[in-house]
Amino acid sequence: MHKTFEVLFEDDHLVVINKPPGILVHPTRISEDTITILPLLRDQVGQRVYPIHRLDRGTSGVLVFGKNKEAASILNALFRSQEVKKEYHAVIRGYVEEQGRIDYPLAKDPTKEPQEAITEYVRISQTELDFSVGKYPKSRYSLVKIHPHTGKFHQIRRHFSHIRHPVIGDKRHGDCKHNKYFRESLGVDRMLLHASGLSFFYPYQKQALLLEAPLGDVFKKSIALLKL
């Protein structure tokens, strides 16, 4: 599937890639996927790598791996303590305000106690198209920049679904009618959610490290088609 990944940053301690959509970070018990990032990246860099965080199968963008257990432990601690600033871009259904904050606790499943989950966003652009998907005569979409303060349980996808502006292409929490339109009429068969940036204090260089991933071709095509 993916023989090599675009490397955004690499040194003796970390390797950072621009994750493509449609591939899992590592095998899971409930997935039948035989191709995942972890073994492919191990072969690409020629050594074992340790995942620092996760991105959903459908999400693209900045993905960080440690090259040794010490680096993985240090970076994992930064993520847990919310010292890593995250930036995402997404195309969502409908119009949203210029900026907003979603404070809605989330649980891994209904048997668990909900945990604090906060997502802030800024609207970059919005568009209205002359076709009907669902009950309205026209269809509206927004391009948003997202800053999650936490990162729990498909947080961004669930938060935007909660405010009734689901991410386009989200098969689990999204709008199946709009997803079908994008897939069949626009030729866009991916979730339009991209981890565009991460920043944190990098102890090995003793300075702030900014990691950025450019949007992929399909995401850019979607923005162009929608005139966002």
User: Catalytic residue positions?
Assistant: 56
CA dihedral 38, 40, 44, 45 (to 10 degrees): 10
Q: Which two tokens stand for residue 23?
A: 């591939």
Given the structure tokens 């938060």, which residue do they identify? 159
Ramachandran region of residue 46, left (φ > 0), alpha (ψ -120 to 50) or beta?
left
Q: What is the dihedral of CA 143, 154, 195, 189, to 10 degrees?
A: -60
How many degrees, rounded to 5, is the angle at CA 8 between CA 24 and CA 202? 100
Selection from 132, 91, 60 nearest residue 228 by Cα? 91
What does the alpha-carbon distance between residue 167 and residue 175 come to, in Å, rounded to a whole number? 8
